[in-house]
Amino acid sequence: MTQTDNSNAPRVTIVVSPRERFEQAEMSLASCFEKTDTLFRMIYIDGGTPRAIAHTLKEKVERRGHIYLRRDGFLTPNDARNLALPLIDTEYVAFIDNDVVFQPGWLDALIRCADETGAGLVTPTILVGPAARMPDLSIHHAGGILKVEEDEHGKTMYRRHGFEHTRYLEMKDELKRQETGCTEFHVVLARKAMIDDIGPFDPNLVGFTDEIDMALAARAKGWKIFYEPDSVIAYAVGKRLTWRDRPYFCVRWSPGRVMRAERYFYDKWGLTHDFDRQRNFLRDHRRHAFPMKSMQKIIGWRATVGLTAILCNTVSAISSWRLIRPNPTPQHTRQ
């Protein structure tokens, strides 16, 4: 909801950035406008959205007096977020992906938690599944554990999402506000002072660890991270990828690019290399680009996994020229 009363200036800026696809973007933006009663500013970062979709997004964002920034090439999520940072002059910033949907009161609850706890970061209840079934979905992230432990073999990282894969409506009454170890970038509220303290997002991180890097940096500076159960959003999945989505999806999840970023992250924090989880995710997640469920019944799982990898690598190689090289030294302008 947008208002122009300067005597009641918004306390929060919503920054929208691309995650892995574009076809959900209009639905996500409509959900944000419909389900958000808190006064806010918005900075919408568009990296390579197909022009028919981009035209609609731009019109809806700018008609409400918000900022729409477009780059014709593909952007990594951290690079997109860094583009928005110099324009933020509110107390809080809510980073959201372009493929999430919301329950009413989601932003109020995040801000209330930050006000009452002094947290630098607040994470909502994140569900996963088709948007039409919201909120009768499984929990993806309800707080969780992020620990770095050291022994004679080196430093290892342990991460686990709270209540993952359990049904939200069955567990709803058991979810309590509490300090937590990490967040997810699907939706996260950050205190602007914390962002100023830790600096811009690392442009080298293009895979799985952008939110972990932020959490570790925030904790190193003494900022608390809280989980707020009354804020509920969903990472909307279920719709098949179209040919308009596949180029960005395959570039985004290119194994070579992602695994270079993972090795960089582990070296940055002095962690022992352990990449089984990442490799398994890439193998399984990239199959969304070319599901081939019928073919799997004929040629088997292993063969379809191999064929999917070939197709995704081919699409990525053809489309990688569209990826805008992240700025290695993003400037963070303080307001």
pLDDT at 301: 84
Each residue of 43-65: pLDDT tens digit?
999 999 999 999 999 999 999 99
pLDDT for 168-224, tens place per residue?
999 999 999 999 999 999 999 999 999 999 999 999 999 889 999 999 999 999 999
Helix, strand and coil content of the chain, in percent to the nearest 5, comes to: 40, 25, 35
Task: Say which DSSP state 271 is in.
Answer: B
The domains found in the chain, sorted by start residue, are: 6-236 (3.90.550.10), 246-322 (no CATH)
pLDDT at 307 over 60: yes
Maximum pairwise Cα distance, the chain:
66
Q: How confident is the model at residue 239 (pLDDT cuts 50, 70, 90)?
A: confident
- pTM of the shown model: 0.94
The HSE-up count of residue 115 (CA atoms within 13 Å, CB side) is: 9
Q: How are beta strands 225-236 and 138-141 bridged, if at all?
A: unpaired
Neighbouring C-alpha atoms within 13 Å toward the C-beta of 31: 25
